[in-house]
Structure 1
């Protein structure tokens, strides 16, 4: 039996499929495109919603934490500054103790000479009270004059730490009141002693030296070493340059008056020196220094 069904050509089928695919490809596809601006707006919107979730307790807590951090920083800085000032003050006290010990040595050396000087001035004054003068008396006058009126040994106390304390305002660093008072007391005593010593050197001895030039022949000892003065004077023929009675009386009185000043100066030195061990003990105790 013959099949009369018409077979569609293969070429027609291929054309039909191509047309269907072409229709599908050419159809518009809806696509959502997000621009950068829209992305940022979405993030900000999300962040705003998140911020909106904070309540007043969160803000209070943040404030407390911030305040606490600042307060702790302040305390730490204040503690550090206080510690540094205390250490600096302690160093000043240690330096002051060293200066005081040095001053004690200086005072001992000064007293060793000034006590002899005071006795020598008394003797020199007494020699002028009994004219006429023998050769040995005049020679003794020369020796005492040369050794004890042309020399002086007033003490100059150490000012290293004192100057630093005054110039830098360091006294405020001595936090311990007892120590500060003791240092102030010591400085005042030292200044009084130096003032007395300067007067003795520049005024009293200065007046004696002026009269020395009128009463003695200073050319006798020209070129003679200080250590050889005693033996040289005792061997050489010497005499006074001026025998004016009024001048010699004036000289005797001035030397006697200067001896009195020296007694007062020596007493000040002795009393000041006696207080040094107590001052050192107080400064060490109050500042925990061994």
Structure 2
């Protein structure tokens, strides 16, 4: 009997530690999620570039604006790196059995599935990123982004960029190349937007899960 009680106490202590660790990781994740979701402005910036290309031609577009949009909205993307140590430990070696309440277990399994789906979407975002980037090398001269390519440049905001005296030339002289770039950018925008939508859903779920676990 004493041995059983000791084993029972050990398992309850382990459960408590797992719960504490899980809450800490969820809190860290929600903080990071909030930061990543601030990058949703990128979607609107890509919209602006796509719209600008499709409503202008080579005779009346301002290349300074194209270079600005490309640099600001299409050169990178913020992504989420989830804290999964505790969740992995619970899944491995049957440790999930230590969590006594089924509703908590169900919620953790749902969280795990959500994270897997989000990471699959992130892979798609990264995979399709290469297409507009590679095509962009046929359109934009990266030299213009170098500090010593011209003087007195300021990338603080769009208007300051447009006020620069030098309008950088495009490598291509074919409008169809620009349309293709806009199409690739628009496709990537859709993937990024869906990624952000999934992150927003996870943010809401994780925030509610923290309160739920603490209450339980």
Following superposition, the deviation at residue 103 of structure 1 comes to 0.9
Q: Equivalent residue of 1:219, what SS?
A: helix
Q: Which runs of 5+ in 1 are unaligned?
A: 1-74
Distance 1:160 1:242 in 2: 49
Please give the per-residue CA displacement for 1:6-31, whole angstroms capped at 9, x wherever unaligned: xxxxxxxxxxxxxxxxxxxxxxxxxx
1:173-212 to 2 correspondence within 5 Å?
A: 173-200=98-125, 202-212=126-136
1:127-138 to 2 correspondence within 5 Å?
A: 127-129=52-54, 130-134=56-60, 137-138=62-63
Q: Please tell me whether Structure 1 or Structure 2 has the larger radius of gyration of its CA atoms.
A: 1
Following superposition, the deviation at residue 149 of structure 1 comes to 1.1
- The higher relative CO (CA closer than 8 Å, separation ≥ 6) is in 2
Distance 2:210 2:161 in 1: 47
Distance 2:91 2:163 in 1: 52
**What is aligned with 1:160?**
85
Please give the root-mean-square deviation of Cα atoms over the aligned residues, in Å: 2.0
Following superposition, the deviation at residue 223 of structure 1 comes to 3.7
Distance 2:11 2:127 in 1: 44
1:221 maps to 2:145: yes
Contact 2:124 2:191 in 1 (8 A): no
1:4-83 to 2 correspondence within 5 Å?
A: 75-83=1-9
Q: With structure 2 as the length reference, what TM-score do the two structures score?
A: 0.87
Following superposition, the deviation at residue 133 of structure 1 comes to 4.7
**What is aligned with 1:284?**
214
Please give the per-residue CA displacement for 1:43-76, whole angstroms capped at 9, x wherever unaligned: xxxxxxxxxxxxxxxxxxxxxxxxxxxxxxxx21
Following superposition, the deviation at residue 228 of structure 1 comes to 3.9
Following superposition, the deviation at residue 281 of structure 1 comes to 2.1
1:97 maps to 2:27: no
Distance 2:175 2:58 in 1: 10
Following superposition, the deviation at residue 147 of structure 1 comes to 1.3
Distance 2:59 2:7 in 1: 74
Count of equivalent residues: 207
Distance 2:106 2:16 in 1: 15
1:269 maps to 2:199: yes
Contact 1:86 1:175 in 2 (8 A): no
Following superposition, the deviation at residue 237 of structure 1 comes to 3.2
